Amino acid sequence: MSAASPRAGAEDPRLVPRKRRGAELWLLLLATVVGVGAYIAVGLGFDGEIPTDTPRLAGGIVGMALIAHVAIRRLAPYADPVLLPIVVALNGLGLAMIHRIDLSLEADGSPVGPFAGNQLIWTALGVASFIAVLLVVRDHRRLQAFTYTFGFLALVLLLLPLIPGLGVNILGAQIWIRVGPFSFQPGEVAKICLVVFFAGYLVVKRDALALAGRRFLGIDLPRGRDLGPILVAWLLSLGVLVFQRDLGSSLLFFGLFLVMLYVATERPGWLVVGGLLFAAGAYFSFLTFSHVQARVDGWLDPFSNSEEYYQIIQAMYGMAYGGLLGRGLGQGDPSMTPFSYSDFILTSLGEELGLAGIMAILMMYALLVERGLRTALVCRDAFGKLIATGLAVSFALQVFVVAGGVTRLIPLTGLTTPFMSQGGSSMVANWAIAALLLRISDQTRRPAPEVRPLEADDATQVVKMR
């Protein structure tokens, strides 16, 4: 039997990537139909005509999806075939809804916008970052050698908005930097760097952190000497909240580290300690910072001050107006909610697609997170397992915080909806996260080289070589 021939009854591993890429191509076709179809439906619903720039948008979405597909086929042939179509579908729906809001803003004579053209450009840059990550990171395990470099880079990125002359305050949050006419949110990239740093650190310190201390109510609490890392993460999160007034990123960073710590050690005691620290930090923030108090007051009773909490009230009315099945794309009035194209894009979709449409979108996010966690579950190395877990959990936490905030399940935090909200920083960073997940998936799904016994001729050659 030759080395290239498959085992009896087994599928030839050389054919597996072709089948997966074929399945991905059909799913990509469906994903582009969702985005382009939503764009056409917006035009038909708004003024009864197909938008004149539909060929340009359709060509852009289809072209970028095919470029990303070819990059995966060449650079990561064994990667999960479901991740990219989900990302393309979410991105296309976001573009269609931003275009729909542009139409309303233009009809109202608003000086704000349009945003859809810039969002398409940022999507192209996101696809470029996607391909760049696949080209540069050929093996995710090599990132472990740069653990502390990524940690230092994350710290620098978080501090950049605090530099006078470089950082800018937008709507009360000091989370942006401006270079010429361009503004960027470095915290989006810092999120990726922190995941790599946390994964590398926890792989090395896992055994020490997994040791149990005292047992309380059936739970093994960690030793006091091992509390340093989680205290540092807690203080870092509070620092982001204090100096940058960014409640969403603070919750995201601490929750991300806590989940990765639990996955690395498998000790529920860390969840208890982290939960207590979170509760203490939340209470301290509520007592100390006026903007946190305003968020909590708006969550508890937005009608107590209709002027200050106008955004939340309009979002609630919009979703109620949408009802179960929605008003139809182009037939609602989502522009009445401030920042309906960014922070509140979910409520815009809820008004025009209804509860059914929102549930479908949340299911796509759930599937995206599930594929990331599935990759982590079958990953062969601990470092890749933790990175995949952290990246998938970052999507889960972000969507939960956004959806919970706009529906008043939790206080509003101001995070963006991945792949859908208007904004370049988030778009580029989330496409890079998708590329890292696909790289780990490719490494995990790649079949091990076939080992066969030496035949007589091969054995003779080995003896002669000796």
Q: Given strand 167-170, what is the order of strands in its sheet?
A: 167-170, 173-179, 182-184
- What is the predicted pLDDT for the residue at 459? 47
pLDDT in tens, 344-365: 999 999 999 999 999 999 999 9
pLDDT recorded at residue 11: 42
For 79-125, the pLDDT digits (tens) are: 999 999 999 999 999 999 999 999 988 888 787 778 888 899 999 99
Q: What is the DSSP letter of 143?
A: G
The answer to whether 79 touches 441, Cβ cutoff 8 Å, is: yes
CA atoms within 13 A on the CB side of 261: 27
pLDDT of residue 403: 92
What is the rounded distance in angstroms from the CA atom of residue 289 to the CA atom of residue 291? 6
Encoded tokens for 214: 């005292």
Q: In 48-167, where does DSSP find H-type helix?
A: 54-75, 83-107, 116-136, 147-159
Q: What is the pLDDT of residue 224?
A: 57
Contacts of 162 (CB under 8 A, 6+ apart): 174, 243, 244
DSSP code for 380: S
The stretches in the chain having pLDDT less than 70 are: 1-22, 170-174, 180-181, 210-228, 241-244, 448-466
